Amino acid sequence: MKAGTTRTPAAALPPDAARFLIPGDRLHAHMQHVAQHHAAGPRSYAVLAVSLACASTPRLDYRPETDAFLVRYTLQLLRRVLRENDRVAVIGPDELIVVLADLPSPEHAELCAARLLAAFEEPLRIGAMYDHARATVGIANGTPGLRRPGDLIRQARTAGHQALTASRNYEVYPPGDDSSGRESLEPALRTAVAANEFHLVFQPQVDLATGVPVATEVLARWERDDGARVGPNVFIPLIERCGLMPRFTGWVLNNALRSHRRFVEAGLQVSMAINVSAVDLHERDFCELVEQALQTWSVPPADVTLEITETAPMHEPREVVPLLERLKDIGVGLSIDDFGTGYSSLSLLRQLPVDEIKIDQQFVNGLLESKQSLDIVRTTLALAGNFGLRTVAEGIEDQATLVALRDMGCEFGQGFGIARPADLETVVRWMQKHGSQPPATQPACR
């Protein structure tokens, strides 16, 4: 395909997405520059060939502009995944080339692809309709003495085609070669789970009216033995893909509940919010896992809330709703995380035996600037009120947003403007310090 023939939709993009774009006809020159830049240093670079498709449903009335829409949508997703020196070129109506620079290791190209693919799990909104976009990614890792940039692009596209034929969502070039790095992450993840390379951090949730801490969200961190830190947005999708989620969730549950005693000893009355993956909700013995962990660490079920993402029950409600009911019978609380990013129908929401809605941080963050975010938050709060659900806002970064949420009737909040995630002892101390102070006198904690 001749690069540079498709009009780049930069004008329609938010600036933070547009800044990654380079014109298709500058792609080769850019890659040459990147290859030279990486010739001596320890860091690596890679090319991702991303091809896009829409999983069409009869609800969606396709028009030619759908492809352009898909590309724009993907560019918006990519801005969550890309780093400072990465660049994207649109080379076809449904094809993008991503050049990743300054990678700590070739595996990081795969991590980036996994993150992008995870972002595609969210439904795509076109006008008033919803559909699912699908991406396939081919990955080619750069070599220091790259002579012809076109070769690397071809390799990435070959890997992408291979992925399509093998019904995989990504593939590393050369396809099927285990030395390529494709398989290398799975053993690393298995070792990480077995050798406890993960650790937990805790982020307080407070009552917005009083400032009193009421709960703590448990968040996993992975620090690899080479010292590299990999964030959960990257490793959680990979753990899911490698089939390691049941074991990982078992580890998180047990370690989180083991920490519960420390809060009790410190005289703190807090419940623990633990994230579970959509994959967990399809595990036959998930309820037993939860019950066992509660018993092992003598934690009252009422002190635990399991956070499930909004889209998790939407795919298989017939399977998931009974499981959620069993969890309710055990006595744990249930929260819908990242609310507003999925496409819950009201009737399904009504059926879910949940106690709480957690408003996604993208709406909370934009609350004071965007009328759309404000409307979504207002509507969510009204909806929660009608359904008798507790409301938590996540991603509160400043006092003005906190006050606005409180005035709108949101009950609980969490965010960097209140307290950043921290290790157990730091959070225990923070909670002891803030346990009885009203919000007006409570400084933002960092």
List residues near ligand C2E by CB under 6 A. 203, 219-220, 231-233, 236, 252, 275-277, 307, 337-338, 361, 394-397, 414-416, 421
As a whole number of angstroms, the distance between CA 119 and CA 79 comes to: 11
Instruction: Tell the burial category of 362 from Cβ atoms under 10 Å away from its Cβ (0-12, 13-18, 19+).
Output: middle
Half-sphere exposure of 264 (CA within 13 A, CB side): 12
As a whole number of angstroms, the distance between CA 296 and CA 325 comes to: 22
From Mg ion, ligand C2E, none, interface partner of 300 (C-beta below 5 to 8 A by class):
none
Amino acid in position 370: S
From Mg ion, ligand C2E, none, interface partner of 335 (C-beta below 5 to 8 A by class):
none
Listed residue (281, 398, 269, 394) closest to 334, CA to CA: 281
- Apex CA 314: angle with CA 310 and CA 318, to 5°? 130
**Residue 121 vs 151, nearer CB to ligand C2E:** 121
As a whole number of angstroms, the distance between CA 388 and CA 380 comes to: 12
Tokens representing 218 are 């448990």
Read off φ and ψ for residue 240, nearest 5 degrees: -60, -45
| Contact assessment for residue 139 and residue 48, using Cβ atoms and an 8 Å cutoff | yes
From Mg ion, ligand C2E, none, interface partner of 205 (C-beta below 5 to 8 A by class):
none
From Mg ion, ligand C2E, none, interface partner of 415 (C-beta below 5 to 8 A by class):
ligand C2E
**Residue 52 vs 272, nearer CB to ligand C2E:** 272
Instruction: Please state the separation of Cα 318 from the chain's center in Å.
Output: 25
**Residue 184 vs 362, nearer CB to Mg ion:** 362
Convert 224-245 to b/e letters by CB count within 10 Å (16 or more is b).
beeeeebeeebbbbbbbbbebb
**Residue 233 vs 292, nearer CB to ligand C2E:** 233
CB of 445 vs Mg ion, minimal distance in Å: 19
CB of 347 vs ligand C2E, minimal distance in Å: 25
From Mg ion, ligand C2E, none, interface partner of 107 (C-beta below 5 to 8 A by class):
none
From Mg ion, ligand C2E, none, interface partner of 276 (C-beta below 5 to 8 A by class):
ligand C2E
Q: Which residues bind Mg ion (CB under 5 A)?
A: 275, 307, 337-338, 394
CB of 72 vs ligand C2E, minimal distance in Å: 23
Return the residue matching tokens 């010739």. Answer: 39
CB of 273 vs ligand C2E, minimal distance in Å: 8
In which region does residue 109 sit, left (phi positive, over 0), alpha (psi from -120 to 50) or beta (all else)?
Answer: alpha
CB of 336 vs ligand C2E, minimal distance in Å: 11
**Residue 141 vs 414, nearer CB to ligand C2E:** 414
Return the residue matching tokens 């400084």. Answer: 443
**Residue 51 vs 203, nearer CB to ligand C2E:** 203
CB of 326 vs ligand C2E, minimal distance in Å: 19
Spell out the long-range contacts of 292-295 with Cβ–Cβ below 8 A and sequence spacing 24 or more: 293/250, 293/253, 293/254, 293/257, 294/257, 294/330, 294/332
CB of 221 vs ligand C2E, minimal distance in Å: 7
From ligand C2E, Mg ion, none, interface partner of 130 (C-beta below 5 to 8 A by class):
none
| Contact assessment for residue 390 and residue 205, using Cβ atoms and an 8 Å cutoff | no
From Mg ion, ligand C2E, none, interface partner of 395 (C-beta below 5 to 8 A by class):
ligand C2E
**Residue 181 vs 213, nearer CB to Mg ion:** 213
Instruction: Tell the burial category of 370 from Cβ atoms under 10 Å away from its Cβ (0-12, 13-18, 19+).
Output: middle
CB of 337 vs Mg ion, minimal distance in Å: 4
**Residue 185 vs 396, nearer CB to ligand C2E:** 396
**Residue 131 vs 307, nearer CB to Mg ion:** 307
**Residue 422 vs 428, nearer CB to ligand C2E:** 422
From Mg ion, ligand C2E, none, interface partner of 244 (C-beta below 5 to 8 A by class):
none
CB of 218 vs ligand C2E, minimal distance in Å: 6
Pairing state of beta strands 129-141 and 124-126?
A: antiparallel
Tokens representing 116 are 């992008």
CB of 106 vs Mg ion, minimal distance in Å: 30
